[in-house]
A and B are shown apart, each in its own frame.
Chain A
């Protein structure tokens, strides 16, 4: 799961370099302090826009996931 996300991030970064401009893909995180949704773009500082807290949590993927019951 995290491996896929990392790969996706790299791809996005490469695409950004090629176009020599910021990629307009915003990812929503949850602030660890006040709990609001924070939308971050590629070159934004990792910081909550409401309270300035620097720890943000990734939201759970909203797609079905398959697991083996082992």
Chain B
């Protein structure tokens, strides 16, 4: 986080911020990380920070998406406008797109100083297919290719801007196209589809096609308290009924047939167990509460391979965007001069 200012405006005059304690230092504990799914626990902070992080992941992490489509030939049954819209929704790899303005990466097209497209704001794609066979042909995102017109001189193969999902080398091309291809249009014999399109940077606030995540949610830590005395007073049949009252199987019977909490993290706060206890007239047998200081996040990418962006990168990008926005606030409100933001590279 950017260094917090030590003054604040209160009732007509500037005050010194009454820090009674050290600023909070939120902690992140990653429990699961793969290219398309990350789970982590955020602690030592409150709902405002957790929700800000969630909303930034959903609406302010930039990616690339098709913005303009120049259609030269369209014999398909799909209207040009419809086709352009479908192109816009295709996911495109955006690993080094740049999260905050000081980053090197891509610049938004409107803010770029170039006249009409340059390697720093645009990537050009083209599609040119004609159906020559006497059967229906499916045009998928595999047919769209980067022309390389705006490729940067020092670009590595890994930085190549391309459509995802990419080719699966384990299965043959036809099966891959059928199973993993995103369908753009279908062509009858002699129908033709030819266009070029331009991918540009944007944030999901402008348009949902820029979404880097499919899921970005958090859940509070459940606090489940059971009254052992009351539970031990139940007959075996009642215990089984109690365990089965939970739709997520949070409770279980141990080896001595005592009820215990087996899968706390699965609790969805439905209060079925509490209702069951109430029905038996045992009001305090079980209570379920939320711990509003512990957040279990689940963030999922759009495609299985982690495109448009690797999901762990999305979380880091969201933290950086939050940090950058805080620095803008401090600059506007207090005139703080901040020239350092959270780095992309992990500090040594």
Measured CB to CB, the residues of A under 8 A from B are: 60, 64-70
Contact B71 A65 (CB under 8 A): yes
Contact A64 B72 (CB under 8 A): yes
- Residues from chain A with a CB closer than 8 A to the CB of B84 are 67-69
Contact B68 A66 (CB under 8 A): yes
Total interface residues on B, CB under 8 Å, equals 21
Quick one: which of B44-91 are within 8 Å of A by CB? 65-72, 74-75, 80-81, 83-85, 87-89
Contact A69 B68 (CB under 8 A): yes
Measured CB to CB, the residues of B under 8 A from A are: 65-72, 74-75, 80-81, 83-85, 87-89, 197, 207, 209
Which of these, B72, B74, B75, B209, contacts A69 with CB under 8 Å?
B209
- Residues from chain A with a CB closer than 8 A to the CB of B72 are 64
- Residues from chain B with a CB closer than 8 A to the CB of A65 are 70-71, 80
Contact B88 A70 (CB under 8 A): yes
Which of these, B67, B74, B75, B83, contacts A68 with CB under 8 Å?
B67
Give Cα A56 to B65, complex, Å: 39
- CB nearest neighbor in A for B72: A64
Which of these, B68, B75, B89, B207, contacts A67 with CB under 8 Å?
B68
- CB nearest neighbor in B for A62: B73
Contact A66 B88 (CB under 8 A): no
Give Cα A65 to B81, complex, Å: 10
Give Cα A64 to B72, complex, Å: 4
Contact B80 A69 (CB under 8 A): no
Give Cα A41 to B51, complex, Å: 66
- Residues from chain B with a CB closer than 8 A to the CB of A60 are 74-75
- Residues from chain B with a CB closer than 8 A to the CB of A67 are 68-71, 80-81, 83-84
Contact B71 A70 (CB under 8 A): no
Give Cα A11 to B89, complex, Å: 40
Known contacts A65-B80, A66-B68, A69-B89; 14 further A-B pairs (Cβ under 8 A): A60-B74, A64-B70, A66-B69, A66-B70, A67-B69, A67-B81, A67-B84, A69-B65, A69-B67, A69-B68, A69-B69, A69-B85, A69-B88, A69-B209
Contact B70 A69 (CB under 8 A): no
- Residues from chain B with a CB closer than 8 A to the CB of A69 are 65-69, 84-85, 87-89, 197, 209
